[in-house]
Each structure stands twice: as structure tokens, then as C-alpha cells.
């Protein structure tokens, strides 16, 4: 993995190429290992460190400025990130499929072996002794009982009940309260003799319909009567068919089948939050070289290495002025839009496309006003391409002036 993201490649690969290579390098780790073993935290941090240093520059002994938090970089593109997979979350989503496959109870050899040795998928949620359990099973139990998995992933799994032949009356979550009856009525559960039995096993079909056959160790005490009445109300509406079988369904995907992608997105969204941003969706739809797209992404987030941004990050600079006008401080909004040398280019561009609007201060607002402006489709499409081309050209000219002693030439720009 480290060879895939070697330091020497940074010098010859653009920003867009770095993002693409980081995504591709993840496939150099065999998916088999990611889907079978829990990656140790130290290994995860090591891999993330390699990714960060490859993206931002520097080597293992040298750090560069990390302009954006890695959690934000790993967010989906439509939420303002670069869509780089978070290795730890991806690992958890892959391992979650073992739980799902066990719950399907398809009778495959591997699932029968696990059921014989450990008790099947239900034993994943039971405390029990772990002395004779394999490391793989211990890791899987730890994952499915973690707060992230239990609150996010497992909450999207529910019974699709048909014949009540797999759902246990007391121990499983099947009612609208999403709470097992054993927890809701603990005193009744203690005196029930039909623990761990499915609903179909607790009655029979007669000509008049379904008849419950509930068995108790003793009669209810007076203080248990109210609970017993509420319990009977909870189960009286159950419609039990004579044919069909229960199965699990996954609410995180329209197919109702568990997918690594949907689980990954659920966990990532819960851990990072964030809302979809229209400018992100529009930006990544534009078909231009990826290096320019990533550049505009950084510009809109104001994370380019302008002199003022470097100064805020404790980089000592003798001159903070704009390299064009040599008057104002070099902020992104000034450099790209409000410098007296740059403004005429924008006014001329808007005149070419017959656009009339105010000129917002910040890069994000400037980009957004032309995304949502109500003009003819082809004209606004041309404007988006032009906007990105002009900002890219301004940045390239700025770098030539600073590092190659070039002079400002509006005609060439």
C-alpha cells in the first residue's frame, strides 16, 4: 500500500490524480482481508497517515499543512468531500455482511458450522463466555454490539413477517414498540414456560382461526394481572398464516438486501453528519480535468495556500500583499474576484455571455449565484466552464509571478 502511494509520485501527479490514486490504492488491500478480519486501530491509523501525506504532500518524516480535516475529505462528494473511502468504516460495513448472511439462515455449510459451535446469529447479541470463541467471532460480536453498529446498522434490519415461524414471541423485536416483550413484561417472562419459542410454536390453527396456547409456571399474582391484560392486547392483533416463512429485510437500500455501500454511507453519515450541498453536486457533474475540479473544490472551501491562509497557519511570510496589485492582502476573494487587475476580466466575461448580476465577495457565493441563476441552459453551462477556467488561469498566473518572476499580462490571461 505504501509503495502504491510512494512519495516520488507526488511530484509528478496532479491533485486530481492523487485523489484518484488514493481511491484506487485501497483495492490493493485484498477485499477478502477487509471483509473477514477486523483491522487493528494501529494499522488503520498507519494507512490513513499514508493517505493524508500523499494527498497533502510530505513524506513519513516530513509533514505538510493538512488544509482540510480528513473526516471531511472522506465525506461523499455531494456533502462537500472528495469521496475517499474511510478505511475503518469500510471495514465495518464489510464485516456487517456476515451478520446479515447469518440472519438469512439459508442452511449453507459455513452457517450451520457457526450455529453448531456458537449458537447462530442470535448468540452475537448475548454476553455469554468468550473463552472458547475464535478471535474472528469475538471481533464480530464486538462490532455488532458496538454503539455505531447497534444504533445505526442493526436498526435498519427488521423482520418481514409472513408465517411467524422464525420470530420468537418473547425475545425478538417484532412489535411496533421495537422492544422485546421479555423486556417490556419481565415478570411475565420469568413465569413463562415457552421461552425461546417461535410464535407459530405457541398455538395452533383451528377452523375458527388461530388459538394461543400460552403456558405458565404458575397463575398470575394480583399485581401481575394488569401486565397480563396489556400483554394479551399486544399479541391479539397478530395474523398468522399457515404458509410462508419469515425473513429479514434491510431498510437502508431499496432492494431490501444488505449492501456494503448502503451500510458504509449510513455509518459515515452518522459519524460525520453534514447535508447535501447543491454546489457540490453541480461541481462534480462538470466534465473537466479532475485536477481543476479539485482546485475549484479547494477554492470554494477557501483552502488554497494564499498568503493570508498561510499566515493564519503560522507560516512566516515577509509580504502578505496580492502579487497582482501589491495593495490589498492576498485573500482568495480578493485574488480571484476583487483585485483591480482581475475585475475587468470578469465584467468582460459576463458581457460576452449576456449575464447581469451582483458580484458576491466570497468564492462560494460567486460560484453559487451562477449555478442557480435563471438563464438559458446552454448559456449557464458555458458560464460554469468559463468560471472554472478563469479561476484556474488566475491561480496559474499568480504562481508564475511568485515563483518564476513573470509579469502580469491581462491579454495572456
Task: Give the tens place of pLDDT for each residue, 239-252.
Answer: 777 777 888 889 88
Half-sphere exposure of residue 337: CA atoms within 13 angstroms, side-chain side: 18
328-351 pLDDT, tens digit each: 999 999 999 999 999 998 888 888
Q: Are 60 and 100 within one domain?
A: yes
The answer to whether position 222 is within a domain reads: yes
pLDDT for 31 beyond 80: no
Max Cα–Cα distance, the chain, nearest Å: 97
Check if the beta carbon of residue 283 is closer than 8 Å to that of residue 296: yes
Q: Has this prediction a pTM greater than 0.85?
A: no
- Are residues 235 and 305 located together in one domain of the fold? no
Within a domain: 57: yes
**120 and 209 part of one domain:** no
Query: Given CA atoms 288, 291, 293, 296 in this order, what sign does their dihedral have?
Result: negative
CB 320 within 8 A of CB 307: yes
Residues 231 and 325 in one domain: no
**Predicted local confidence at residue 413, as pLDDT:** 77
In a domain, 350, yes or no: yes
Distance CA 288, CA 280 (A): 14
What is the tens place of the pLDDT at every residue in 100-137? 999 887 778 988 898 888 888 888 887 766 667 888 89
Could you report the per-residue pLDDT of 377-404, keeping only the tens digit for each? 667 778 788 889 999 999 999 999 999 9
Report d(CA 260, CA 95) in Å as an integer. Answer: 9
How many secondary structure helices (H) and strands (E) does the chain include?
A: 20, 4
Same domain, 191 and 140: no
At residue 155 the predicted structure's pLDDT band, cuts being 50, 70 and 90, is: confident
Do 121 and 183 belong together in one domain?
no
- Residue 244: strand, helix, or coil: coil
Residues 19 and 166 in one domain: no
Does residue 225 share a domain with residue 267? no
In a domain, 251, yes or no: no
229: confidence class by pLDDT, cuts 50, 70, 90: very high
Name the residue among 290, 283, 388 with its Cα closest to residue 17: 290
Strands 247-250 and 157-160: antiparallel
Q: Are 139 and 169 in a shared domain?
A: no
Residue 332 lies in a domain: yes
Question: Has residue 412 been placed in a domain?
Answer: no
Categorize the per-residue pLDDT at 373 as very low, low, confident or very high, splitting at 50, 70 and 90.
Answer: low
Whether 266 is covered by a domain: the verdict is yes
| 36 and 1 together in one domain | yes
**Within this chain, do residues 150 and 37 fall inside the same structural domain, yes or no?**
yes
Residue in 247, 62, 258 with CA at minimum distance from that of residue 167: 247
Residue 286's pLDDT band (cuts 50, 70, 90):
confident
What pLDDT, on a 0 to 100 scale, did the predictor assign at position 331? Answer: 94
For residue 179, the enclosing domain spans 162-245
Total domains, the chain: 3
Element (H, E) at 231: helix 225-235
Amino acid at each position: 500500500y505504501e509503495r502504491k502511494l510512494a512519495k516520488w509520485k507526488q511530484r509528478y501527479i496532479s491533485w486530481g490524480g492523487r485523489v484518484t490514486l488514493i481511491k484506487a490504492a485501497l483495492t490493493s488491500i485484498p477485499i477478502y482481508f477487509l471483509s473477514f478480519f477486523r483491522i487493528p486501530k494501529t494499522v488503520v491509523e498507519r494507512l490513513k497517515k499514508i493517505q493524508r501525506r500523499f494527498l497533502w504532500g510530505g513524506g513519513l518524516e516530513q509533514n505538510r499543512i493538512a488544509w482540510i480535516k480528513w473526516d471531511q475529505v472522506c465525506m461523499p462528494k455531494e456533502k462537500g468531500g472528495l469521496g475517499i473511502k474511510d478505511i475503518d468504516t469500510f471495514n465495518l460495513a464489510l464485516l456487517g455482511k456476515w451478520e446479515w448472511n447469518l440472519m438469512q439462515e439459508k442452511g449453507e455449510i459455513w452457517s450451520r458450522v457457526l450455529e453448531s459451535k456458537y449458537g447462530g446469529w442470535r448468540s452475537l447479541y448475548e454476553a455469554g463466555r468468550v473463552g472458547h470463541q475464535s478471535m474472528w467471532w469475538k471481533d464480530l460480536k464486538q462490532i455488532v454490539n458496538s454503539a455505531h453498529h447497534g444504533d445505526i446498522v442493526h436498526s435498519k434490519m427488521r423482520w418481514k413477517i409472513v408465517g411467524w415461524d422464525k420470530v420468537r414471541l418473547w425475545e425478538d423485536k417484532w412489535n411496533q414498540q421495537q422492544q422485546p416483550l421479555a423486556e417490556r413484561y419481565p415478570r411475565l417472562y420469568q413465569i413463562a414456560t415457552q421461552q425461546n419459542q417461535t410464535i407459530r410454536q405457541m398455538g395452533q390453527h383451528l377452523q375458527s382461526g388461530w388459538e394461543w396456547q400460552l403456558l405458565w409456571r404458575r397463575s398470575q399474582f394480583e399485581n401481575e394481572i394488569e401486565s397480563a391484560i396489556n400483554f394479551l392486547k399486544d399479541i391479539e392483533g397478530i395474523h398468522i398464516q399457515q404458509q410462508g416463512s419469515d425473513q429479514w429485510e434491510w431498510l437502508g437500500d431499496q432492494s431490501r438486501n444488505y449492501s456494503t455501500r448502503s451500510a458504509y454511507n449510513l455509518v459515515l453519515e452518522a459519524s460525520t453528519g453534514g447535508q447535501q450541498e447543491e454546489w457540490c453536486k453541480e461541481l462534480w457533474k462538470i466534465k473537466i480535468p479532475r485536477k481543476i475540479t479539485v482546485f475549484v473544490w479547494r477554492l470554494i472551501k477557501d483552502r488554497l495556500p494564499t498568503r493570508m491562509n498561510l499566515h493564519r497557519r503560522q507560516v512566516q511570510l515577509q509580504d502578505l500583499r496580492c502579487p497582482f496589485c501589491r495593495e490589498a492582502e492576498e485573500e482568495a476573494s480578493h485574488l480571484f474576484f476583487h483585485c483591480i487587475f482581475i475585475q475587468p476580466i470578469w465584467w468582460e466575461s459576463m458581457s460576452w455571455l449576456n449575464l447581469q448580476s451582483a458580484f458576491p465577495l466570497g468564492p462560494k457565493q460567486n460560484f453559487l449565484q451562477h449555478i442557480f441563476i435563471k438563464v438559458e441552459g446552454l448559456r449557464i453551462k458555458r458560464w460554469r466552464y468559463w468560471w472554472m477556467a478563469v479561476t484556474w488561469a488566475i491561480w496559474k498566473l499568480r504562481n508564475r509571478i511568485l515563483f518564476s518572476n513573470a509579469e502580469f499580462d491581462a491579454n495572456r490571461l
